[in-house]
Structure 1
Amino acid sequence: MRERIVLESLDFGGMSIAYEHTGRGEPVVMLHNGGSSHAIWDDVANRLADKYEIFALDLLGFGDSAKPGAGYTLDNYVAMLEAFVSSRGLEKVALVGNCMGCAISLAFTERHPDQVKALVLCNPLTESTFLSGWLGPFLWLRERMPAANRQVYRLLGKLKLTNGIGSVATRFQLGPRGRALGVNRRPELCGSYAATGQMESLLGVLDDLENYSVIDNLAPGPGFPPVCTIWGLKNKIVSPRAGRRLNSTLHPAREEWLADCSHLLMLERPDEVAAIIDEFLQAAARTPA
């Protein structure tokens, strides 16, 4: 494993956005899922850093980034990514996302297709893929009783989870392979759930879920960068079955389905996921614009 790197930061409207910067080569921006941090990409980044310059961000409200208690909307996350790309002077970047990181990547690319060379999307979050997952039924309160929902979210948002509960939350996101590897016992993963304000951030993302329906309706046209999707077939958070429907409109140039993996497939099969990312980005680089 590579040594832990001191995080750099971006000022986004007076709020600090932390990110890990490593490697050299063509730029790749990695975006994590809700509830976690840039640490989910450590294993993959370690395998790719000799070919690519990698920026693994902590999204607003997560990891070491600011947790303002508001602004956890898809539009604001796209604005955050716009600010990051501009601040680093990245003219053509590959985007690699997991869950909500995929939605941010797709929404950014729809607005700025000329700034993106390719997208690798792991377990994309949309309104449909989440509502079709195991946790979808719990959002009935948000849809039917929005006022009560906001009060519940305010109360839950003040909770600080323990590392033990964080381990349980991480285990829920793993398939058979990840559980066998004990991925949920890694402190940099389960510890993020114990950070003050992180639960409030995650609930804020879920409160904006209806706006992720734009990804369900996205039909990339000519000039849209090539897309690769990677799904864990044991995923409980977002539904692989709904993912197949999503792929029918996204029309990915490459799609992968990992049988024994779930929501954190980049930690469950880092060698395979890194190879898929590398092969796809190399193929995209050979394709005429």
Structure 2
Amino acid sequence: MEDFEYDGIRIAYVRRGESGPPVVMLHHAGASHLVWMPQMQALAGEYRVFALDLPGYGVSSKPADDYTLERYTELIHQFLVRHELTGVSLVGNCLGSAITLNLTRRYPELIRAAVVMNPLTESTVLHGRLGRAARLDLAVPEAVVRAFDRWHTPYWLARGTVRYWFTSRRAFRECPYTTALSAGYPARALLRMIRDLPSFAALDDWPDRAQLPPICTVWGNDNRVLSAPAGRTLNARLRPDRAEFLDGCGHVPMLEQSARVTAILTEFLGAAGDQASQVTAEAERTWTSTPKESDRESTVI
């Protein structure tokens, strides 16, 4: 894995593909870059694909605090800037989708397209099965949360959490990454992200949708972590260019229905690339067909 460091925080990432437009993939809370391996391998022939371990997870830094949407957003923005990535397609799941939406809203000039799977917002969390636990975390005193800062999620609990992401037992058993994903992580990353949940409320409101690049949403209809019905309400406000709801699929569609998700990505990113090329060509035609100032002056004379 390669490293990127910003403000004392080390982000580990893997890279696939030697040429083509850049694609950056961001995982959900509790996971790592491994959830994107099937899609990375499929896209590497046409794209330069980057999959990151977000701070707090995988082999990236696990700082004591600041697991906020604002911090995650700025870290990934700096990753794009440092690697000189423009015309980027962002692909995220859950927390990764929240970061993707925030980046797309804040820096639309850098983003070619966005694919957001099971986007984490205040509404999709609080209306999901884990909404009560999230409310409890928000209500407990800070001192109680700090008591868990160094508590490492044991293997049995982490494995149970990974199992909860899947609808299909068979898909869980056959997934080659479940053991690695069950290695556990300090609880602080998840607990502090939930403490910042009010910041995610902004992602439930999209009056400025017309200013954004093409967006595709993907939901697992049987998601047990976030609320797919709340996701439909979010879609009505976000107005994505493409919306997919996958039956028999939970919180990790990229693993549970890998071939289907890969096809969605391939089709959507390809169409977004064609659209971007058309816009660029149209802009060039407009520029070349507009008389230069010197030409207009010569005509007047």
How do 1:191-202 and structure 2 match up within 5 A? Answer: 191=183, 193=184, 195=185, 197=186, 199-202=187-190
User: Aligned-pair RMSD on alpha carbons?
Assistant: 1.6
1:178 positional shift: 5.6
Measure, in 2, the Cα distance between the counterparts of 1:268 and 1:141.
30
User: Which letter does structure 1 place at the counterpart of 2:30?
Assistant: G
Partner of 1:15: 9
> 1:33 and 2:15 equivalent?
no
Distance 1:180 1:186, change over 3 A: closer
Distance 1:185 1:30, change over 3 A: closer
How do 1:105-254 and structure 2 match up within 5 A? Answer: 105-143=100-138, 145-146=139-140, 148=141, 150-176=142-168, 179=171, 181-183=173-175, 186-191=178-183, 193=184, 195=185, 197=186, 199-254=187-242
Greater RCO (Cα-Cα under 8 Å, separation 6 or more): 1
Measure, in 1, the Cα distance between the counterparts of 2:145 and 2:93.
24
Partner of 2:287: none
Structure label with greater radius of gyration: 2
Partner of 1:3: none
Partner of 1:276: 264
* Deviating 4+ runs (over 6 angstroms): none
User: Which letter does structure 1 place at the counterpart of 2:58?
Assistant: G
Structure 1 gap ranges (5+): 1-6
- 1:219-250: CA deviations, max 9, x gaps? 34333101001100110111000000000011
User: TM-score normalized by structure 1?
Assistant: 0.91
Partner of 1:61: 56
Measure, in 1, the Cα distance between the counterparts of 2:180 and 2:3.
19
1:64 positional shift: 0.9
User: TM-score normalized by structure 2?
Assistant: 0.87
